[in-house]
Amino acid sequence: MKKDMITNVTEYEAIAKEKLPKMVYDFYASGAEDQWTLKENRNAFSRILFQPRILIDVSKIDLTTTVMGFKISMPIMIAPTAMQKMAHPEGELATARAASAAGTIMTLSSTATSSVEEVASTGPGIRFFQLYVLKDRNVVAQVVRRAEKAGFKAITLTVDSPILGRREADIKNRFTLPPNLVLKNFEGLDLGKLNKVCDYIATFHYWYEILKSDEFFHYWSSYCYNCCYFLFEITFQTSDSFAASYAAELYDRSLNWKDIKWIQTITSLPILLKGVLTPEDTMIAIQAGAAGIIVSNHGARQLDYVPATIMALEEVVKATQGRIPVFLDGGIRRGTDVFKALALGAAGVFIGRPVVFSLAADGEAGVRKVLQMLRDEFELTMALSGCRSLKEITRDHVLTEWDRPR
């Protein structure tokens, strides 16, 4: 498939697969363990059908909405995905430009390969900063303050990842961040052992690439390289991927509801909780002061056999009783998916993999096209359902398998 023949979002994946090293493609594509939730995130959308209304004047359709007080062009936003420079040299900077051109929100990952300042320097745009809470609270406070200073408008606190899910492809591939890249938001901050080991690995990768070009040194360099890898594994006592080792070493597994209050003391930005799946947690989140909820299963990369997000959405929305907005991510690939999520009560949706795959295929132009295609499909779905504004999208426009026959 050539990139100018692309007619829908999903088609970018095949191009990305062809272009990217296997280790990188697998990191982006895979889910946890049996990947049941990964498939279910998509399949569940196909079990929701439309009940379109006819003979409504749809000559003018308004897709705009307001999220956290900011007016955006459509209810389709960008979820945080780690390490985008593995997909394209421009990485998160290209994504930021594409989001801003589309008039929508980009969420930058904590574990991005571009810093909050670099992303801010791409120009105006509404951006959220995704936060993983590390054991070292000073580091967390510094990063959050930097994001706030750089003009980010909200903190998206990821609450489903005290430990990284088991992504077997990454374990098999011994996934590691390519040596020319760094996790820019933590660059220069004291991350102790991990930073040192990463520096060693990067140095050895570097020398290995130089030495292996010489026949004579080839044997010795690969010997040396393997030794270093061995040392790396001993250091972490694991044969896991870099991402899993990184998380195990740095993330604070003790993170709990009380910490939301602590985050509120280091920032005045609104805090969205990303990774809520139950009405019970929704109610606690509201009491804890969350400004919004993102129904998410982390793109099926954490706990396998949790329901598809679209299946969990409605109960979460009901539990909020309209007090805070609920967003959804997971498996959004079509404008019809966006419509279904809104009909079940979401205030907007976020996309993850479509961004990294289109970025790999065609950089900023790819991400722009993904946003444009989703926008066009969503507008078409609204027109064919008889809806002229987001407010006109109602629960009656869809029929789910848990609805009684009407």
Name the binding residues: 80-82, 109, 130, 132, 158, 167, 274, 296, 298, 301, 329-333, 352-353
Query: Cβ closer to ligand FNR: 81 or 245?
Result: 81
Closest approach of Cβ 296 to ligand FNR, in Å?
4
Query: Cβ closer to ligand FNR: 165 or 345?
Result: 165
Query: Cβ closer to ligand FNR: 294 or 319?
Result: 294
Query: Cβ closer to ligand FNR: 24 or 72?
Result: 24
Query: Cβ closer to ligand FNR: 118 or 329?
Result: 329
Closest approach of Cβ 352 to ligand FNR, in Å?
2
Pairing of the two strands 348-351 and 127-131: unpaired
- Residue 111's identity, in one-letter code, is T
Query: Cβ closer to ligand FNR: 88 or 228?
Result: 88
Name the binding residues for FMN: 80-82, 109, 130, 158, 274, 296, 329-333, 352-353
- Residue 105's identity, in one-letter code, is I
Closest approach of Cβ 232 to ligand FNR, in Å?
22
Closest approach of Cβ 64 to ligand FNR, in Å?
22
Name the binding residues for glyoxylate: 132, 167, 298, 301
The whole-angstrom separation of Cα 119 and Cα 215 is 42
Active site residues: 298
> Within a 10 A sphere around the Cβ of 20, how many other Cβ atoms?
21
Residues lying near ligand FNR in the complex (CB under 6 A): 28, 41, 79-82, 109, 111, 130, 158, 274, 296, 298-299, 301, 329-332, 351-353, 356
Closest approach of Cβ 210 to ligand FNR, in Å?
30
Question: Which positions ≥6 away from 222 have C-beta within 8 Å?
Answer: 208, 212
User: Which residue lies nearest ligand FNR, judged by its C-beta?
Assistant: 352
For residue 157, report the phi and psi dihedrals to the nearest 5 degrees: -90, 120
Closest approach of Cβ 83 to ligand FNR, in Å?
7
Asked whether 274 and 158 are in contact (CB, 8 A), the reply is yes
Query: Cβ closer to ligand FNR: 245 or 296?
Result: 296
Q: Can you give the chain as a three-state secondary structure string?
A: CCHHHCCCHHHHHHHHHHHCCHHHHHHHHCCCCCCHHHHHHHHHHHCCEECCCCCCCCCCCECCEEECCEEECCCEEECCCCCHHHCCCCHHHHHHHHHHHHCCCEEECCCCCCCHHHHHCCCCCCEEEEECCECCHHHHHHHHHHHHHCCCCEEEEECCCCCCCCCHHHHHHCCCCCCCCCCHHHCCCCCCHHHHHHHHHHHHHHHHHHHCCCHHHHHHHHHHHHHHHHHHHHHHCCCCCHHHHHHHHHECCCCCCHHHHHHHHHCCCCEEEEEECCHHHHHHHHHHCCCEEEECCHHHCCCCCCCCHHHHHHHHHHHHCCCCCEEEECCCCCHHHHHHHHHCCCCEEEECHHHHHHHHHHHHHHHHHHHHHHHHHHHHHHHHHCCCEHHHCCHHHEECCCCCCC
- Residue 29's identity, in one-letter code, is A
Closest approach of Cβ 81 to ligand FNR, in Å?
4
